Amino acid sequence: MRLCFLVWLCLVFLLWPAAAEDIPFVFNESSYDVGRYDSDQLVNISTSSPELAGVPPISAPENSEILLFPASRTYKTVGEIKNEFDYKVWQKKGRVFFSQGRYEEALQAFDQSIQVNPKSAESWNYKGIVLLLTYKYEEAMKFFDVAIALEPSFATAWNNKAEALYAMGRYDEAILACDRAIQLDSSSPDSWYTKALILKKEAHAAFTRARELA
């Protein structure tokens, strides 16, 4: 690791006469909490990275410029990173609004998160949860379905879909969704609790029917 750093440092000195825009950004992807930043602060993060010691600051990166993440050796453009930061910031804002019972503002925040990154299964699921708790079951179902389509192994989304189906009285479908959630994550108490509620409801209906026929 130390040898790699020395090699990189040598390259920095070799490239010193080059223009600033010719020098790639370097970030430590695990060194900061994304919720603290938005895309406008991105350039300031780059200049504070310890790997950038001695590298001339780049004050206005273009969205097409390439950034290097040394830990995973992956590359992303500035535009991709801005989107990633912004959708997580909106997602975090939505969760805060939701925890405060400010559901309309939470929905708006999750909408912004989805707009920035429509491939985030978490954002679709979060909006579905808000809709579920505001009794908009059919609409919530659509968001859970999108979350599952984006990430088929998303156990939480499967459980949330089961809850929406249960609320609509579609118990057979709810059991199937719940069983899928348990299959994906058998240690989740939420999925087992949801299944218990559904079975209790079905058992009650069965006993009621039995008394009627007796």
Domain boundaries, the chain: 19-82, 137-213
Whether the pLDDT of residue 26 is over 80: the answer is no
- Can you say whether residue 198 is alpha, beta or left, with left for phi > 0 and alpha for psi between -120 and 50 degrees? alpha
CATH of domain 137-213: 1.25.40.10
State percent of the chain over pLDDT 90. Answer: 42
- Residue with the two structure tokens 């069983």: 179
- The mean pLDDT of the chain is 74
pLDDT tens by residue, 154-201: 999 999 999 999 999 999 999 999 999 999 999 989 999 999 988 988
Q: Which two tokens stand for residue 126?
A: 């979060």
Are the C-beta atoms of residues 159 and 177 closer than 8 Å to each other? yes
Q: Output helix, strand, coil percentages for the chain, rounded to the nearest 5.
A: 70, 5, 25
3-state DSSP assignment of residue 77:
strand
Mean pLDDT of 61-90: 65
Whether the pLDDT of residue 75 is over 70: the answer is no
pTM over 0.85: no
The CA dihedral of 126, 131, 132, 138, to the nearest 10 degrees, is: -120
CA distances from 172 to 116, 118, 195 (A): 36, 30, 11
Per-residue pLDDT, 16: 35
Distance CA 97, CA 177 (A): 28
- Can you say whether residue 54 is alpha, beta or left, with left for phi > 0 and alpha for psi between -120 and 50 degrees? left
Mean pLDDT of 124-152: 96
